Structure 1
Amino acid sequence: MNILQALFFPPEQPGGVSSMVPYILERFQKLGWEMDLFSIPKRVRSKGSEEVSFQTFDYTQFSGNPLVDKYMQTYKDYIWWTRLRMSRSYDVIHAHHPIAALAMKHIYPDTPLVMTIHSSYESELMLNGKISEGGTEHRFLTSIYRELESKVDLIMTASESFRSYLAQHMDQPEKIKVIPNGFDEKRFKPIAHENAVPQLITVCRLVPAKGLDVLLRACAELKKRGCPFVLHIIGDGPVRNELEQLAQSLDLYDDIIFYGYMLHPEEFMPFFDVFVLPSRAEAFGSVFAEAALCWLALVGTNVGGISEQIQDGVNGLLVPVEDHDALADALEKVVSDPIFRHNLARAAWDKAKKAYSLQRVIAQLQKVYTNILPAAE
């Protein structure tokens, strides 16, 4: 059996899809399975011109909107690039982005297609203040889900909470299969260390959806309480300047280090003590599992896939969204009590090793790929 893993852009960024798919491919190849990875380069722009249509809605009703037009052009570009570069057929295609799924089904209508929906583009855009709920862009993007449902043989996602989100946009959400993300434990090497000052770390794109403004306000409160710490922020994005300015206004600039983008933050994380990310939404939150495998104590918001990974007070701490005082309270607990912090980190590591192993994902996907052939026939 030969399988194609169809991504959107190349797997360059840490976290999410990029943390898992290349390692899945490597494991399957070691097991003797034929598997390739395909994506569209970021340099490909405005090349596609092939006409496309949807079965479940007329996309032209949204034409003229810049975001919609860009989305449709990218869909056509993906088709153009696939026709240009693809020279073989596959038994099964596994897509990891709506555009990849739609393009592959357009070109290979008879090939069994499975898809993992990893996140909600429209939710991210709303949280980042780019679109409004119920607006043209939101209605277009949410319409894509039923289109996928009509064309894909099996839809998967990484958390029960995200399946619940998808349910409002699909006719048969009970058919969605949940396979939590898995991680190659060999990438993560916990290191015994003792930091004189507790070291906090967060790893994410610097966008409003990640709630780093809330984190900075919580850190300001933590500093007022006399709790020593250093916060390390790994990642880059459009709100970096705003966050740096906020840190200065909160008299935090000397307590925070902005690193920018880093290709392999998991090599850096084991030297820290606490991973914290107060996301406003998260379909799964792969970076929490990665931090757990680095033996860090976890602090996150009670949303989406984060709340499925963390049992409050057992293997991490959960706080309400947008509540910087509650976040400061949680951080004070882990900063001021090293034994409690150690116990949380050990419990998080134990759960991540058992629940989020890459081997478990491989076994589940083997069944999916094997079963989809007779199902499609």
Structure 2
Amino acid sequence: MQLSQCKILIISNMGPKPSAPFQGKFVHNQVWALAKLNPAYHYMRWHSDSLLNKLLKYPVFLFSFIWRFVISRQRYDIAHIHFFYPTIWLALVYKFCRNRNLKIVVTCHGSDIYKYQPPSKLYRWCAKQVDQWIFASSALEQHFSLPKANSKVLAAGIHESFRQAEQVTWQDKTIDLLYVGSLDENKGMDRLLAMLPYLTDKHVVIAGSGPWLSRLQTAATEFSNVLVVGPKNSSALKQLYQQSRYLINLSRNEAFGLVMTEAMCCYTPVIASFTDGAQEQVQNGVNGVLLSATDSEQQWLANATAIIQRLWQLPPEQYQRLQQQARTSAEPYLLKNIAEQLETVYQRVVL
């Protein structure tokens, strides 16, 4: 079967909510990049932080899927799942109710593997139904311990608007350190708070939302050099990246980390803690700096702040080389390139 004849359904358990208005945006962008294939798209529309939502969001997600796609005349040939478990169950419901020949493609993003170790019997059984695995990073693929006949490492991709980013010189930048992302413990917000007393000579901007927002806002009242700006769309982030000397990423677990890719595409080197995602993208001393793990958080903090201070001693030409290498390493992850690779994957599974 030719890909042009296939009907594709993309399913994601991610979606925006009041505390994270851009959650799952990278999947939306990928669907947009695949527009010529006219894929159908089902994502978690009812999403909030309320207890009721936490209890019922997956049943609502499933029943709305059944209403939209199982009780429908349209027949789909490929289901592409973003976030393997438990999202895979929607594709399996469709497969066993509507099309036994459905091909299932799964993109794993991180915690759909990290949080399910060791895998349960149901997890293992679901994995056997997958025709094509996609992993956000090679390190994430290595964490997946189950057999996989077909697999590929492929990031979700960054918006095409970043292709037109401009290189701004060190002297013309107005932000020293930029953080972008969820404001929670896994993303290292406790680490960032601990760093602030040592960064009083740096202009620090924090863009994002999450459970640590109020603590960071309180810190911003104590440190005049810190600005918390909340979540931003791609256009606003592009401006922030271009104006920042470095992006800082302090995650404890990160499967890939698209904000690092976005920053580097805007000629902004990355300072990152050692995670799967940082290891995949950041070449120490080439396009950024990796902060190695230590035995204690206190020692890690001392090492990290010392490294950051040394980065401000780099000669201008060395910083420019970091900028150029950052841009070069990020360009393959632009959405147009990712979409072309996905089309190849889809064509292969239906042959």
| CA–CA distance in structure 2, aligned partners of residues 229 and 44 of structure 1 | 35
Change (3 A) 1:280 1:174: farther
User: Is structure 2 residue 272 aligned with structure 1 residue 272?
Assistant: no
Counterpart for residue 151 of structure 1: 129
Write out per-residue CA displacement over residues 150-200 of structure 1, whole angstroms, 9 at most, x where no aligned residue: 222222111111112222xx2x15743221332234335225353476521
Counterpart for residue 28 of structure 2: 22
User: Residue 331 of structure 1 is aligned with which of 308, 321, 345?
Assistant: 308
For structure 1, the 5+ residue unaligned runs are 46-65, 125-137
User: Is structure 2 residue 85 aligned with structure 1 residue 115?
Assistant: no
User: Residue 289 of structure 1 is aligned with which of 221, 237, 261?
Assistant: 261
TM-superposed deviation, 1:222: 4.0
Aligned partners of 2:158 and 2:335 also within 8 Å: yes
| CA–CA distance in structure 2, aligned partners of residues 89 and 279 of structure 1 | 41
Specify the SS of the correspondent of 1:273: strand
Aligned partners of 2:16 and 2:23 also within 8 Å: no
Write out per-residue CA displacement over residues 74-107 of structure 1, whole angstroms, 9 at most, x where no aligned residue: 4432221012222322121101133332112112
Amino acid at match of 1:324: L
Change (3 A) 1:367 1:196: closer
Counterpart for residue 234 of structure 1: 207
Aligned partners of 1:191 and 1:271 also within 8 Å: no
| CA–CA distance in structure 2, aligned partners of residues 238 and 296 of structure 1 | 27
Amino acid at match of 1:187: F
User: Residue 168 of structure 2 is aligned with which of 162, 187, 192?
Assistant: 192
User: Residue 336 of structure 2 is aligned with which of 335, 359, 362?
Assistant: 359
Write out per-residue CA displacement over residues 19-59 of structure 1, whole angstroms, 9 at most, x where no aligned residue: 2x333333333xx42322211321699xxxxxxxxxxxxxx
Amino acid at match of 1:119: G
Moved more, 172-181 or 83-92: 172-181
Q: TM-score, normalised by structure 1?
A: 0.76
Counterpart for residue 3 of structure 2: none
TM-superposed deviation, 1:16: 7.8
Counterpart for residue 77 of structure 1: 60
TM-superposed deviation, 1:4: 1.3
Counterpart for residue 96 of structure 1: 82
Aligned partners of 2:113 and 2:143 also within 8 Å: no
TM-superposed deviation, 1:237: 1.0
| CA–CA distance in structure 2, aligned partners of residues 15 and 162 of structure 1 | 23
Aligned partners of 1:17 and 1:96 also within 8 Å: no
| CA–CA distance in structure 2, aligned partners of residues 320 and 25 of structure 1 | 36
Counterpart for residue 38 of structure 2: 34
For structure 2, the 5+ residue unaligned runs are 1-5
Change (3 A) 1:278 1:101: same
User: Is structure 2 residue 158 aligned with structure 1 residue 180?
Assistant: no
Aligned partners of 1:16 and 1:286 also within 8 Å: no
Counterpart for residue 258 of structure 1: 228
| CA–CA distance in structure 2, aligned partners of residues 143 and 342 of structure 1 | 51
CA RMSD of aligned residues (A): 3.1
User: Residue 2 of structure 1 is aligned with which of 4, 7, 16?
Assistant: 7
Q: Once the two structures are aligned, what percentage of the paired residues are identical?
A: 23
TM-superposed deviation, 1:209: 0.4
| CA–CA distance in structure 2, aligned partners of residues 6 and 268 of structure 1 | 31
Specify the SS of the correspondent of 1:282: coil
Change (3 A) 1:192 1:247: closer
Write out per-residue CA displacement over residues 233-258 of structure 1, whole angstroms, 9 at most, x where no aligned residue: 0011112233445566xxx6212111
| CA–CA distance in structure 2, aligned partners of residues 290 and 15 of structure 1 | 15
Specify the SS of the correspondent of 2:39: strand
